[in-house]
Structures are given as structure tokens and as C-alpha cells.
Amino acid sequence: ASAVNQAGSLRMQSYRIASSLARRQNLDNIEATRITTSLMDEFEERILSPRLTSMIPRSGSKESRQVYDHIYMHWKRSIRPVLFAYINTVANDQSAIQGLDSHYAVQLETAHLALKQRYLNIVDSFVADIDHLVHLLEIEAESNIQLLRLIQVSSLFLTVGVVFVTMYLMHTDVVVPLRNLLAC
């Protein structure tokens, strides 16, 4: 359950990043950079959290391992670089606004908007991949619960069987000889 919650929080974190990019125009560039960096760090912590990684099988042949690896590589190779580029353009945008060439500032703002749009375009497919991982973790958890039920039912029948065998042996090996001893 903890791993499913942790994986589900990755979806929320991806959309929090998108939301922060969408409302960036209401913030100054330094604050926007700080918020985006903080959200990226939080996503990184969540995806590498032992709560999640401990439930992902080590075997590369399991589908949940393959999906997790795909998500992590997508984060490292596609999404994080776009966000780092966004942060860099925001930082450069700040210096351009403070007195550099206005043409350069327009180019930076255009690059900034393009990077924001690129993230917003890829976030939905990224969240769909995370959703697939959550689904796989739910299936594995349900499978483990079914196995646990089977073990519990087997243990119950085994316990009842042991009780009946013990009662039979008590009757044949203790009660009957004790009755015979009392009769003597």
C-alpha cells in the first residue's frame, strides 16, 4: 500500500510541476526557479524512495521493474533536462530583463515558453506511464493478498486437522487406557 501511494504521489508531483510552470507569470523569476527546483528535488526523492523501490522486483524480467526503469529513464533523459533548461532560461531571462539587450530578452522568453510547452506536452504521457506502474503495483499487491489468504485458509484447515488428530490420540492413548486402569 505504501508503494502504491508513493507511486501515485509521482503523478501528483508531475502535475504540481506543470501547475507551477503554468502559473509562473504570477511570480518573479527567482521565485519561479526556486519553486521548480524544489518540486524537481521532491520528485527525485519520491521516485528513489525506499518505500517505492523496495517493492519493485530486482528482476529485470518483471513488468513492474521494466515500467519503473522506463519511468526513471524518461525522467532522467527527457523531463529533468527540459526542466533544467527551463530553470536556466528563467535565470538568464532575469539578467536580460535587468538591462541586457531587449531582443535577447524576447528570445529568452520565447525559449522559456517553448520549454514550458514541451514539458506540458510530455507530462500527460509520463503520468500515463506512472499510472501504469501504479496499476501493476496494485495487481502485485492483490496477488500477494490472495497468496496470504491461501496460506491462512491452509493453516486453518491444518490447525483443525491437528486438533482432531490430537483429540483422537488423547482418546485412544490416554482416556481409554485410563478407563481400563480405573476399571482394574
The model's pLDDT over 25-84, given as tens digits with 9 standing for 90+, comes to: 656 667 777 888 899 999 999 999 998 888 888 877 788 889 999 999 999 998 898 888
Question: pTM of the predicted model, to two decimals?
Answer: 0.74
Average pLDDT over residues 123-138: 91
pLDDT at 91: 63
Q: Is residue 132 very low, low, confident or very high in pLDDT (cuts 50, 70, 90)? A: very high
* Rounded Cα–Cα distance for residues 12 and 41 (Å): 14
State the number of CA atoms in the 13 A half-sphere of 177 facing the CB: 5
Q: Is residue 103 very low, low, confident or very high in pLDDT (cuts 50, 70, 90)? A: low
Q: Is residue 21 very low, low, confident or very high in pLDDT (cuts 50, 70, 90)? A: confident
Where do we find the cell 504521457? 125
The rounded percent of the chain whose pLDDT value lies above 90 is 40
Average pLDDT over residues 75-96: 76
pLDDT at 61: 76
The rounded percent of the chain whose pLDDT value lies above 70 is 85
* Rounded Cα–Cα distance for residues 42 and 35 (Å): 10
Where do we find the cell 533544467? 84
Whether 173 has a pLDDT exceeding 80, the answer reads yes
pLDDT at 92: 61
Whether 20 has a pLDDT exceeding 90, the answer reads no
CB pairs under 8 A, 24+ apart, for 93-99? 93/29, 94/28, 94/29, 94/30, 97/29
Residue 64 · residue 57 · CB < 8 Å: yes
Average pLDDT over residues 73-99: 75
Sign of CA dihedral 44, 50, 56, 61: positive
Comparison of pLDDT for 110 and 6, the residue scoring more = 6
To the nearest whole number, what is the mean pLDDT of the chain?
A: 85
* Rounded Cα–Cα distance for residues 113 and 136 (Å): 35
